[in-house]
A and B are shown apart, each in its own frame.
Chain A
Amino acid sequence: MTGAVRAEGAPTGPGRGAGTPLDGVRVVELVDESAEYCGRMLAGLGADVVKVEPPDGAPSRRQGPFLDDVPGPDRSLAFWADNVGKRSVVVPEGPDGDGAVRALVEAADVLVHTLRPDAAARRGLDYERLGPALPRLVVCAVTPFGQSGPWADFEADDLVLMALGGSMAACGYGPGPDGYDTPPLAAHGEQAWRTASTYAAIAVLAALWWRDVGEEGRGQFVDVSAHECSASMTEWHCMTYLCSGSVFRRGAHPTLTAADGRQVAALNPDFLGPHVFANMLAMLEDEGVAGPLSDPAFADPGYRAGHYGEVWRAMKRLAAANDGERLYRLGQGAGLPWGVIRSPEEVAGDTHLQARGHFVELDHPELGRTVRYPGAPFLAHGSPWRMDRRPPLLGEHTAQVAGEWGVTW
């Protein structure tokens, strides 16, 4: 049924999505703030992502900060961040709305939602009902704890997920003389939600591959637990516990403070080989701050480890004589993985990313201005990232989508 609609229905627009991996793939998105990043990614890959919203808009439209600090459904910057590239359809609340959603889903390839099992059943969107009727449909449910398990009915926002997942326990400042005097810290930017959304996008891609290229041609149900995704992102911490019995405790990485007050993450990865120190020493000598490090004894890793204070003091002398961006480039010039700590928006000034064409100016005609967006997450010249549509106004595409998808309600 869905396949037939897609094959015979109107195109998604003149030339839109052409050459993208998901050209012609229709996605219905019925999500809260926790999974909007998934649809953003699928839209970038060329899918026609239709965001289904109630008359007063998705919750993220009420989330600040707002454009010029003036609230309004089309002014939420949180909404802009995660809804660029989608279309918006408003459906009424209640049974009429559920019927509309069902009609849209029948014309779609993918449904991404954030409904708990009982809520999905109430709206007629449980897979038990959708699956048999729409065998080609991929349904992806992103929920805090997944469809099963003792915590399945628990509530969690991103902060709670960062706590339970383990990254929070590992982030923050180190202990003071009387133990830890500051709490574990969660990163801003809703990283647990973004991780879950990214895994959801990966699973949808895999499910579409299986449906379209695999042997069965069938859709399926995908169960994404944001908690499990959040619990998977702490690199070596579980292995450290399994191997040593000790638990990693939080503490900030040492950073260098440059002459302009900027911090630089100055990693000194001796474990990569003797060339690392040799390269750094040559650079420190060029800059006239090597001091005692020129003593050949420092070439011995054991000696160096026992006198690491001298190494660090030389690095601090270098930092005091340079501003942050130059310090970063001095380190990199010596082959060291140093990086100046930038604020999120300062990355927009990165000349390397600019040369790769990463940032994209999108027209917001109703505002009479353009806005710069972070663009493609990778360079795929054969199938470019689609980044040509600003986030949708509330209900902007209701009639358009109904017409193009041949759906009425």
Chain B
Amino acid sequence: MSENTLSSRPVDRQGEAPSPAAGAPMALAGVRILDFTRLGFGAQATLICGCLGAEVIRVESTTRPDPIRVMPPYVPEPGSHGEGFGAATLANATSAASPNRGGIFYKYNTGGKRSITVDARHPKGLALLRDLVSVSDVVTESFAAGTLERWGLGYPEQVKARPDVLYVSMCGFGHEGPDTAHVTMGPTAQALTGLTFMVGLPDRPPAGWSFSYLDHVGGYLGAVAVLAGLAHRARTGEGQHIDVSQLEPATALSGALFFDALVNGRPSRRPGFPTGNRRPASAPGGAYRAAGEDRWVVISCRTDDQWRSLLTVMGDPPWGADPRFSTFGARQQHAEELDVLIEQWTSQGDRYETMDALQRAGVPAGAVQDAADRLERDPQLAARRHFTMLGNDEVAPLPLEGMPVHMAGTPVHTGGRLHRGPPVLGQDTDAVLTELLGMKPSEVEALRAEGVLS
């Protein structure tokens, strides 16, 4: 399948919003999370919980909105994009005026999260939040250490409101230890924990990650903390404070490299390392140029069978029998020469056609895909309904990401238990206060008039 053909037939998403089996239960049905997270790290954790069916209530502020609600890129005005989403333009930069247009917000706040606005610094606002803690199973937050304490909503206060509360804090350096005042963003934590170092070509400064991988990983561990804490509570009746940092979830991600240095005395900081895309288990292995501008296809042969199949697909070139390439070890030793020969072949072909030809012969291969490829060309993601069309009162449905796992008995849904898109700021304030705290609409209005719900 050529890329042109594919892009001229974009993946059809009409009617694609997956309909979970009617009435199917969700795994975390009945779990309520009072969610003070912002940005990526903490919000990723509650996104997962929401996709699993927990009721996630974002507590927000109209005066200090989550930065990703107002940061570019901005979601287009309804109707402003033409054929396919790629046709949207940046012309609507004035969208910063709305707290519902920040594009990154839509990455991290699926899961059917609700949104309420409460001024935690107002005594009546604080009282409301304590009341909400009393009817919640879990409290999550991602502020700097000490912030909730200053509000009067630290763990001891939460326990007064709900003795078995599970409190999961997600903060760069955590709440214990000498450096808790340090601030992190994903790239900070990636630098400190060795992740940045592990992306690069030999004898050059690390290239690192161009995105906050550890916002995701930290968020996954935040979700693990919620689930583990709930399991512990179910067994013992006890709540607790679980202190998630952005550093500890990363230390085991380097796998054997950590041990090779500490046990064998072979430091990672050595000439020739990191090795780009070369890995000990592949020969040949790497990203090879394909036809087109900056297009690449990855090939990774882990067995002799795969190597022989690669040669067959390439039309059995004469150098295939060269002793330099006769064994796995020899191919690793002569990787540079081998890569040149392979790239002469790959550079002639379309990346998807090469991938398909190799895969049909049993050779691990894949196009290097960017975001547009994933949204518009990847037939596997489309078939698996990886993206779900969801919008809200202000934003037309977009193909959004959720928890990418399929559970047969308790379906995961990107729109959460409510099957809806990320919330407009404060859209659930009235509903939450009346449903959960039994307030009358007139009482809610009175609080609003006093500025408590801002």
Contacts and interface: CB of A to CB of B under 8 A. Distances in A.
Nearest to A380: B242
Given A81-B252, A167-B213, A238-B375, A339 B192 contact: yes
Interface in A143-179: 145-152, 154-173, 179
A41 B190 CA distance: 21
A344 B254 contact: yes
Contacts, number: 537
B101 to A, nearest CB: 9
B235 A23 contact: yes
Nearest to A222: B407
Contact of A240 (B232, B258, B371): B371
A322 interface: no
Interface in A298-334: 328, 332
A99 interface: no
Nearest to B73: A243
Interface string A192-229: 00110011111101111110111110111111110111
B88 A244 contact: yes
A172 B196 CA distance: 11
A339 B216 contact: no
Contacts of B225: 378, 380
B206 interface: yes
Contacts of B221: 198, 377-378
B160 interface: no
B240 to A, nearest CB: 3
Contacts of B289: 183
Interface in B330-364: 359, 362-364
A145 B355 CA distance: 14
Contact of B207 (A81, A171, A346): A171
A65 B232 contact: no
A339 B264 contact: no
Contact of A232 (B185, B223, B294, B404): B404
A199 B211 contact: no
A267 B231 contact: no
B182 interface: yes
Contact of B224 (A65, A189, A201): A201
A240 to B, nearest CB: 5
Contacts of B287: 163, 168, 183-186
Contact of B191 (A78, A173, A242, A342): A342
Interface string B248-263: 1101111111111111
Contacts of B252: 37, 40, 81, 374, 377
Interface string A232-243: 111111111111
B209 interface: yes
B66 interface: no
B228 interface: yes
Given A159-B279, A343-B269, A378-B221, A245 B87 contact: yes
A149 B89 contact: no
A152 B208 CA distance: 31
B6 interface: no
B404 A231 contact: yes
B19 to A, nearest CB: 17
Given A228-B405, A242-B88, 5 more contacts: A154-B359, A214-B27, A339-B189, A347-B251, A377-B249
29 contacts: A21-B231, A146-B380, A156-B364, A160-B365, A167-B209, A167-B213, A180-B294, A182-B201, A187-B198, A201-B224, A202-B223, A202-B403, A206-B227, A209-B234, A216-B25, A220-B409, A222-B408, A223-B406, A232-B216, A238-B374, A242-B88, A265-B196, A271-B71, A335-B183, A337-B183, A344-B193, A345-B254, A378-B174, A378-B225
Closest 4 CB pairs of A and B: A220-B409, A382-B240, A344-B194, A344-B254
